[in-house]
Structure 1
Amino acid sequence: MTKRLQAVHILLICFSLMACTASDSQEKAPSVASGPAKAAAPDTSDTKKGSRPGAVLDTAGYDKRMKAIANGDSSGRWPVKAPYPLPGAIFPFNRVIAYYGNLFSKGMGILGELPKKEMLRKLKGEVTKWEKADPATPVRPALHYIAVTAQGTPGRDGKYRLRMPFHQIDTILKWSKEIGALTFIDVQVGQSTLQEELPRFEKYFKLPGFHLGIDPEFSMKNGETPGSRIGTFSAGDINYTIDYLAKIVRENDLPPKILVVHRFTNDMVTGYKKIRKVPEVQVVIDMDGWGSKALKTGTYNTFVYRQPVQFTGFKLFYKNDLKRGSTGLFEPKELLRFTPKPVYIQYQ
Structure 2
Amino acid sequence: MRTRARRRLVALVVPALVLLAGCTAGTGPSPAVTTPTGAPPSPSRTSGPLPIRAVAPAEPAVVVDVTDPVQAALAASRALYAAAPVAVLAAADDTAGQLTAASAAVALGAPLLLTPPAAAASGGVTEPGLAAELTRLRTVAVLVVGPAPAPRGVVVVRLPGGAGGAALTRATGAAFGSTAPVAPGDEAAAVGRLARPRPTVLAASATAVVVGAVAAGDPGPGRTQPVLASPVLAAAEPLVPTLPRTSPPAAVAATVALTGAGTVPPAVLATVRAAGLPLVDAPGADPRATSSAVQALARATPAHVLALGAAFGPGDRLAERVATATTGVELPGGGQLYFPQDEALPGKRYVSIYGSPGTPALGVLGEQDVPATIARAQAHAEPYRALTADTVVPGVEIIATIASAGPGTDGNYSQERPVADLLPLVQAAGAAGMSVVLDLQPGRTDFLTQAQEYQPLLELPYVSLALDPEWRLGPTQVHLKQIGHVDVDEVNAVSAWLAQLVRDHHLPQKALVLHEFALSMIAGRDRLDTSHDELAVVIHVDGQGSQPAKVGTWNAIRQGAPAGVHWGWKNFYDEDKPAMLDPVGTYAIQPTPDLVTYQ
> Which TM-score tier does this pair reach, normalised by the shorter chain?
0.7 to 0.9
C-alpha separation between the residues in 1 aligned to 2:529 and 2:430?
A: 31
Q: Deviations over 1:130-179 (max 9, x none)?
A: 10111x11011111111111111111121111111211221112220342
Cross-structure match for 2:260: 47
Equivalent residue, structure 2, for 1:125: 379
Aligned-partner SS, 1:204: helix
1:13-92 → structure 2 map (5 Å cutoff):
47=260, 58-59=283-284, 88-92=336-340
2:528 corresponds in structure 1 to 275
Q: 1:104 Cα shift?
A: 3.4
CA contact (8 A) 1:305 1:339 kept: no
Amino acid at match of 1:59: G
- Give the conservation status (yes or no) of the 8 Å contact 1:99–1:110: yes
Say yes or no: does 1:187 pair with 2:187: no
Equivalence map 1:290-309=2 (5 Å): 290-309=544-563
Q: What is the distance in 2 between the residues matched to 1:56 and 1:240?
A: 35
CA distance in 2, matches of 1:178, 1:167: 17
Which amino acid letter does the alignment assign opposite residue 546 of structure 2?
S
Matched, 1:166 2:379: no
Query: Which residue of 556, 566, 569 corresponds with 1:311?
Result: 566
One-letter identity of the residue aligned with 2:474? K
Measured after TM superposition, the shift of residue 271 of structure 1 is: 1.5
Kindly provide the amino acid, as one letter, of the partner of residue 453 in structure 2.
R
Distance 1:56 1:169 in 2: 38
Q: How does 1:332-347 map to 2 (within 5 A)?
A: 332-347=583-598
Corresponding residue number in structure 1 for 2:122: none
Secondary structure, in 3 states, of the residue corresponding to 1:221? Answer: coil
| Residues 308, 56 of structure 1: alpha-carbon distance in 2 compared, 3 angstrom cutoff | farther
Correspondence 1:113 to 2:367: yes
SS state at 1:157 partner? coil
Task: Provide the aligned C-alpha RMSD in A.
Answer: 2.6
Separation in 1, partners of 2:403, 2:595: 23
| Contact 1:172/1:183 (8 A) holds in 2 | no
**Deviation (angstroms), 1:55:** 9.0
How far is 1:57 from its partner? 5.0
Take 1:116 and 1:192, find their aligned partners in 2: how far apart are those partners?
30
Contact 2:356–2:363 at 8 Å: present in 1 too? yes
Aligned position for 2:464? 211
**CA deviations over 1:262-319 (Å, ceiling 9, x no partner):** 0111101121221112211111000112111111100000013542451000111122
**SS of the residue aligned with 1:339?**
coil
The 8 Å contact of residues 568 and 597 in structure 2, kept in 1 or not, is answered as yes
Distance, in Å, in 2 between the alignment partners of 1:230 and 1:144 is 21
In 2, distance between residues paired with 1:215 and 1:182? 18
Change (3 A) 1:175 1:232: same
CA distance change for structure 1 residues 108 and 251 in 2, over 3 Å: closer, same or farther?
same
SS of the equivalent of 2:362 reads coil
Q: Alpha carbons of 1:305 and 1:331: their partners in 2 closer, same or farther (altered >3 Å)?
A: farther
Query: Is the partner of 1:223 in helix, strand or coil?
Result: coil
CA distance 1:59–1:301, shift in 2 (3 Å): same
- How far apart are the structure 1 equivalents of 2:259 and 2:550? 38
Amino acid aligned to 2:549: L
Alpha carbons 2:419, 2:457 under 8 Å: kept: no
1:289 to 515, 539, 543: 543
Which of these two proteins has the greater Rg computed from alpha carbons? 2
Higher relative contact order (CA 8 A, sep 6+): 1
Q: 1:158 to 1:139 in 2, by over 3 A?
A: same
**Alpha-carbon distance, 1:338 to partner:** 2.7
Q: Structure 1: any 5+ residue segments left out of the alignment?
A: 1-44, 49-53, 63-82
Match of 1:101 in 2: 355
Q: Residue 104 of structure 1: SS of its match in structure 2?
A: coil
State yes or no: 1:259 paired with 2:502. Answer: no
Residue 155 (1) aligns with residue 426 (2):
no
State how far apart, in whole Å, the 2-side matches of 1:145 and 1:120 are.
Answer: 12
Q: Which amino acid aligns with 2:378?
A: K
Query: 2:581 matched to 1:330?
Result: yes
Distance of 1:243 and 1:158 partners within structure 2? 27
What is the CA–CA distance in structure 1 between the aligned matches of 2:420 and 2:473, rounded to whole Å?
27
Instruction: Quote the Cα distance in structure 1 between the aligned partners of 2:521 and 2:504.
Output: 31
What is the distance in 2 between the residues matched to 1:178 and 1:253?
20
Amino acid at match of 2:463: F
Q: Distance in 1 between matches of 2:371 and 2:381?
A: 15
Q: Distance in 1 between matches of 2:427 and 2:585?
A: 33
> C-alpha separation between the residues in 2 aligned to 1:304 and 1:94?
20
Change (3 A) 1:297 1:271: same
CA distance in 1, matches of 2:574, 2:438: 22
CA contact (8 A) 1:305 1:340 kept: no
Aligned length: 274
- Aligned-partner SS, 2:410: coil
Among all aligned residue pairs of Structure 1 and Structure 2, give the percentage whose two residues are the same amino acid. 26
Contiguous gaps of at least 5 residues in structure 2: 1-257, 262-278, 288-316, 326-335, 341-346
Instruction: Tell me: CA distance 1:99–1:173, structure 2 relative to 1, closer, same or farther (3 Å).
Output: same
Question: Residues 129 and 236 from structure 1, CA distance in 2 versus in 1: closer, same or farther, beyond 3 angstroms?
Answer: same
